[in-house]
Amino acid sequence: MEKNNKHPRSNRIYPTRPCLNKACSYGGKFTPHDKRQLYCCVQCRINASNDKRSALNNGKFVSEKLLRRYDQILSKLYKKYFKDDVCAVKLDIILHEEIDLRLLTSDALNANTNQRIRWMYDYGTERHPKDESFIIIYKR
Ligand SMILES: [Zn+2]
């Protein structure tokens, strides 16, 4: 009988952990089959490394600190401009608050508009589908 022990399949169960892809669209949590596994699936691993690369290509690495600051600013704008079930804010105001929309690392497709929502922690932004001078802010 021939045995292949090069890649023995582990039957160990590891505790559920968060998927490191911030824009994980599979629930954000998974049960790893290997203790080194950082993402719930191959797609999340690819997306996360693409996001990291595009952030690096912009010449600036997005720090957690910056994301938290942007989240705070977006929270403030969200409260101020939320009206009739939507929060549309003039692009000028976003720029005035010094939010650099090119920098944000994680995003997810909005199936309703077929555009990307760029997420910080609790808040995300999307270009207005009908008026490019507006940005829509979403809250998770
Ligand atoms: Zn994931």
Q: What is the pLDDT along the chain (140 residues), one digit of tens a residue?
A: 444 444 555 567 788 999 998 888 888 999 888 888 999 888 888 888 877 766 655 555 567 888 889 999 999 999 999 999 999 999 989 988 888 777 755 788 899 988 889 888 899 999 898 988 899 999 99
Give the integer Cα–Cα distance in Å for 53 and 119: 17
Give the integer Cα–Cα distance in Å for 78 and 61: 25
**Ligand 1 centroid, distance to 50 Cα (angstroms):** 14
Give the integer Cα–Cα distance in Å for 104 and 54: 9
Q: What is the dihedral of CA 10, 16, 18, 23, to 10 degrees?
A: 80
pLDDT of residue 23: 85
**Ligand 1 centroid, distance to 25 Cα (angstroms):** 6
pLDDT of residue 24: 86
Q: Taking the model in full, what pTM does it have?
A: 0.56
Residue ranges near ligand 1 (ion) with Cβ within 5 Å: 19, 21, 24, 26, 40, 44
**Ligand 1 centroid, distance to 133 Cα (angstroms):** 32
pLDDT of residue 25: 85
**Ligand 1 centroid, distance to 80 Cα (angstroms):** 33
Mention every residue, 6+ apart, whose C-beta is less than 8 A from residue 72.
Answer: none
